[in-house]
Every structure is written in structure tokens, then in C-alpha cells.
Chain A
Amino acid sequence: EVQLVDSGGDLVQPGESLRLSCTASGFTVSNNSMAWVRQAPGKGLECISVMYSGGTTSYGDSVKGRFTISRDTFKNTLYLQMNSLRTEDTAVYYCVRTWGYWGQGNLVTVSA
């Protein structure tokens, strides 16, 4: 059974960093395209980063240069390193095996 377990969400201050993790089971992360999708409170869905099975990555303009997507083959885990966090990054972050399997989501709150 495919499962994605998101972890790492927290309350941080503007300018700080945070790393989200997504531990997968039932499939191999490195053999699939994976994405991070976020949803600000009361808002719609925003795809912020994608990593293809071959390792190519892409980012949305709102996070480019601040966030980095990566994976650990041995741990079968996807990561999102978030630096220079802003208040507008406050959202629930979902790990996705594009596009049929979603994690439960992780709340990241950026506030002074």
C-alpha cells in the first residue's frame, strides 16, 4: 500500500529555516516524480516544487532560490529545505507522488 507520511512542520520566525520530510512506503521515491504542494489558510493549492525520477527539479517563483527539494534513496524519503522563511510561507505543506498519492500535510507557521 502506498503511504506518504509528512513531518517537520513547526512554528518559526521570519528569516529562519526549516526542513520538511516525507517518508514513503509501498513504492520507491527515486523511481517516481514527486512534488510539494502547499495551501495557505483558507486558500487554494500551489505547487511549489517538483522532482522527477531522473533528478531534475523545478520550483515556483514564490520559493525559487529559498527552497530546495531533495531525496534520500536509502531512507526512501523526500525533503523540502526551506530557508529565509517569510510570513507568506505559512501554509499546510503536502508531499505528493504525482498526482495520485498525497501525504496528510504538515502545518508550517511563520510568525514573529
Chain B
Amino acid sequence: DIVMTQTPLSLSVTPGQSASISCKSSQSLLHSDGTTYLYWFLQRAGQSPQLLIYEISKRFSGVPDRFTGSGSGTDFTLKISRVGAEDVGVYYCLQSIQPPFTFGPGTKVDLK
């Protein structure tokens, strides 16, 4: 199985500042079709997860441009600019190149 790791596991951010979360996979997520199957989700307390970014850097419908995904192969980053109260929650990365599809352990983001 592909193992997904995230750092840090916890992040406290001053409102208005930026935050970055790293996600690494144990194998390349680049498929022979040219697509890299790496996704980012936010789960707010008591809610279902919501998709933020798909295929490394594409923002899902309605996701503000404060969220930016980058990376390639096995190393990926989610950057959140101008962090606000609505960004508090747990962020997960996911690989879907090879079943069983696996999530990272999650990064908990709160405000200072």
C-alpha cells in the first residue's frame, strides 16, 4: 500500500498569515496517463470532508484562490494564504493512483 505522510501534524497560525502543509507519498503518484492523483481536503469540526485541490494544483469549484497546491512525484505542498477562522480544521492529502486509496494522517490547523 502507498503510505502518505504529512508534516506538521499540528499548526497554529496567526490570522492573516500564511500556512504550509507538506504531504509525501511512498511511491510516485504520477500515472502513465500523465495525471498525478493527489488531492487535498479540509474537514471542519463536525462536518464532512470537503475537496479543496485535485490533481496537485487544481482548485475545486468554489474554493478560494488563497489555497494553492504544488509539487510533483512524491512531494506535495498545500499553501493557505491569509488564514482566517473559516480555515480552521484538519487537512488531509489523498492518493488515488493505486488502490487501496490512502489518506495522510491529517494536519490540524488552528488560530493563535
Do they bind each other? Answer: yes
| One of B16-24, B27-35, B76-84, B102-110 contacting the partner | B102-110
The reply to whether B99 and A50 form a contact with Cβ atoms under 8 Å apart is yes
CB distance from B72 to the nearest CB of A (A): 20
Do A102 and B50 contact each other (CB < 8 Å), given the known contacts A44-B92, A45-B92?
A: yes
Write the B85-106 contact mask toward A (1 if CB under 8 angstroms, else 0).
0000010101010011111111
A106 to B50, CA, bound (A): 16
- Let me know if A45 and B99 touch, CB within 8 A: no
Separation of A58 and B51 alpha carbons in the complex (Å): 22
A94 to B47, CA, bound (A): 11
Judge whether A11 is part of the interface by a CB distance below 8 angstroms.
no
Assess whether B105 is in contact with A44, with CB atoms less than 8 Å apart.
yes
Query: Do A100 and B103 touch across chains, with their CB atoms under 8 A apart?
Result: no
Does A94 lie within 8 Å of B103, measured CB to CB?
no
Total CB contacts across the A-B interface at under 8 A: 49
Give the complex CA separation of A50 and B61 in angstroms.
23
A44 and B103 form a contact (CB under 8 A)? yes
Interface hits, B10-68 → A, CB 8 Å: 39, 41, 43, 48-51, 54, 60-61
| Pair B106/A44 contact, Cβ less than 8 Å | yes
Asked if residues B100 and A58 are in contact (CB atoms below 8 Å), the reply is yes
Question: In whole angstroms, what is the CA distance A112 to B60 when docked?
Answer: 42
Please list the residues of chain A having a beta carbon within 8 angstroms of any beta carbon in chain B: 35, 37, 44-48, 50, 58-61, 94, 98-100, 102-105
Besides the known contacts A61-B100, A100-B54, 5 further A-B residue pairs in the complex with CB atoms under 8 A apart: A44-B105, A45-B43, A47-B101, A58-B100, A102-B48
What would be 19 A-B contacts, judged by CB atoms less than 8 Å apart?
A: A35-B101, A44-B90, A44-B104, A45-B49, A45-B103, A45-B106, A46-B103, A47-B94, A47-B102, A48-B100, A59-B100, A60-B100, A61-B1, A98-B96, A99-B41, A99-B94, A102-B48, A103-B48, A105-B48
